[in-house]
Structure 1
Amino acid sequence: MALQHPSAPSRATSPVPRPTARSGVVHVNIRHTTRYTVVGNHLAQHRELSLLAIGLAVHIQSLPVGALVGIKFLSARFPESEHRIAGALRELEAHGYLERTRERLPGGKVVTRTVSYNQPGSMATPTPRPSRTPERPQRPTPAAPKPTPEATRPPAPAPTPVPREPLPEPHTLAPEHHRTAAALLAELHRHAPRLLLAERDVRHLAPAAAAWLERGAAPDAVRRTLTARLPDDLKHPAGLLAHRLTALLPPPLPTTPVAARPDPLQTCEGCDRAFRATEPGRCRDCRSDQRDAA
């Protein structure tokens, strides 16, 4: 009778194959059967995307339809800041992995529609799997119906674009206001990183900010107004600042009336006393005495 070993495993386990390469990664792959996502190497090994953008693309591709992928939601889900997540989303948009558009609902609310592409630039339909069953004979294609009068109508003309309101400008040329306005705009990204402006945008917006300073607005007040409550999907910082500088322009300061200057001092020809009058002559008392004597 053979000896029994209670501590021995019920069956031999398959040993993990030892690496054959002297250096580098070795893969131990186990086939997934549930809860998996297929990701192309064009994304996983992309040479221009950052690691954050690649990981964010994989996360978005693994989500079901209708899942939230806003900047605030992602920053609450992951440890990265809103600024870094916004930059990664812009990377994915630039390389065709994401498309974000803003739409206005019938109730007036504006929402962001996000479309994820697992193969940018390819809109081909999936290739059907080969079938072992014999193909059925194709039926003759019915003739296309004749177009109705409504279908032959010409397309409606495109709406006329609404002209943009010009940027405000200061009434007086004050170099000090212009220098302060340009420095304020150039340093906005220190208070709101998403408001990083190009040099030409600073030159374009500086006169509008100088108009605020001319109307008595303090630089701190202008900065708070421009950086307050920025939208999550900010794509064009210069456009947003141009809108705020135009739409929120404060009223001009009220003009202060100039006080009337007093008449100059004159020396009375009768008593040598000083009095105020527009022309030399006699004071009031001397004029009274002269009238009484007459």
Structure 2
Amino acid sequence: MDTGNPSAPSRTQSRIAGKNHPHAGGLIHDNVRHTSRFTVIGNHLAQHPELSGLAIGLAVYIQSLPAGARVDIRTLAARFPEGTTRIAAALRELETHGYLRRTRERTGNGRIVTRTVSCNQPGHARGAHTQHPRSTPRPNKTTPKPLPPVPTPSYPSPTLIRQATDLLADLHRQDRRLLLSERDAAHLAPGVAAWLEREVTP
């Protein structure tokens, strides 16, 4: 007669909670190692006890961008749904805690521009590891080369221009090489609006 395995536990034996399932009810990580297109973020930022979730998210996004990318309030508001007021407040949080430094400087041709420095470890001295744009233009006294003309819409309503501007601002999400400067986007927006006015899809 088959007596079975005398050492096998009974099927009805209850499991001890927390022993057989140490993660029961808690977080389980399903991680895959990144080999490309990733950004290293310190836990001091990801788990910051005083920063809002929006501020942490913006800091992560900004640190993931290439040097030279635009991170002004208007550009960020075109990328995220929170709006300029909340984004401005979140950027001030990051400044307060040392993750951003913003200064206004005058260029050689007299324009006032905002320089933004993203700090991945606040409190560390600025040094050789600071990333600078590869093609930062040096101030000069020559006037910028005029941009080529673009079509204009018959009825350039603010809503249509805004839609065109938002479309241009999102291009880099389709292809990172299509990151436009604010000047280029403002110049091209009427041309895009003219196409949208003709019921061409984005």
Report the TM-score when normalising by structure 2. 0.52
- Provide, for residues 75-95 of structure 1, a one-character-per-residue CA deviation record: whole Å limited to 9, x for no partner: 001101100000000000000
What stretches of structure 2 of length at least 5 have no aligned partner?
1-19, 130-202
Aligned to 1:95: 97
Opposite residue 89 of structure 1, the aligned amino acid is L
- The ranges of structure 1 where at least 4 consecutive aligned residues each deviate by more than 2 angstroms after the TM superposition are 123-127
Aligned to 1:44: 46
Taking structure 1 as reference, are residues 19 and 103 closer, same or farther at Cα in structure 2, changes over 3 Å only? Answer: farther
Bigger Cα displacement from structure 2, 32-41 vs 104-113: 104-113
The residue matched to 1:65 in structure 2 has which SS?
A: coil
Q: Which has the higher contact order (CA 8 A, sep 6+)?
A: 2
- Alpha carbons 1:53, 1:91 under 8 Å: kept: yes
Taking structure 1 as reference, are residues 124 and 77 closer, same or farther at Cα in structure 2, changes over 3 Å only? Answer: closer
Cα deviation for residue 123 of structure 1 reads 2.3
Aligned to 1:119: 121
- Provide, for residues 182-228 of structure 1, a one-character-per-residue CA deviation record: whole Å limited to 9, x for no partner: xxxxxxxxxxxxxxxxxxxxxxxxxxxxxxxxxxxxxxxxxxxxxxx
Taking structure 1 as reference, are residues 19 and 54 closer, same or farther at Cα in structure 2, changes over 3 Å only? Answer: farther
The residue matched to 1:58 in structure 2 has which SS?
A: helix
The within-5 A match list for 1:149-228 is: none
The residue matched to 1:75 in structure 2 has which SS?
A: helix
Taking the aligned partners of 2:104 and 2:26, their CA distance within structure 1 comes to 45
Q: RMSD of the alignment, in Å?
A: 2.0
Cα deviation for residue 22 of structure 1 reads 1.3
Bigger Rg, structure 1 or 2: 1
Opposite residue 28 of structure 1, the aligned amino acid is D
The residue matched to 1:100 in structure 2 has which SS?
A: strand
Taking structure 1 as reference, are residues 74 and 124 closer, same or farther at Cα in structure 2, changes over 3 Å only? Answer: closer
Cα deviation for residue 108 of structure 1 reads 1.1
- Alpha carbons 1:96, 1:121 under 8 Å: kept: yes
In the alignment, which of 31, 34, 40 is matched to residue 32 of structure 1?
34
What stretches of structure 1 of length at least 5 have no aligned partner?
1-17, 128-294
Report percent identity of matched pairs.
64
Aligned to 1:71: 73
Taking structure 1 as reference, are residues 70 and 126 closer, same or farther at Cα in structure 2, changes over 3 Å only? Answer: closer
Q: When the two structures are aligned, how many residues end up with a matched partner?
A: 110
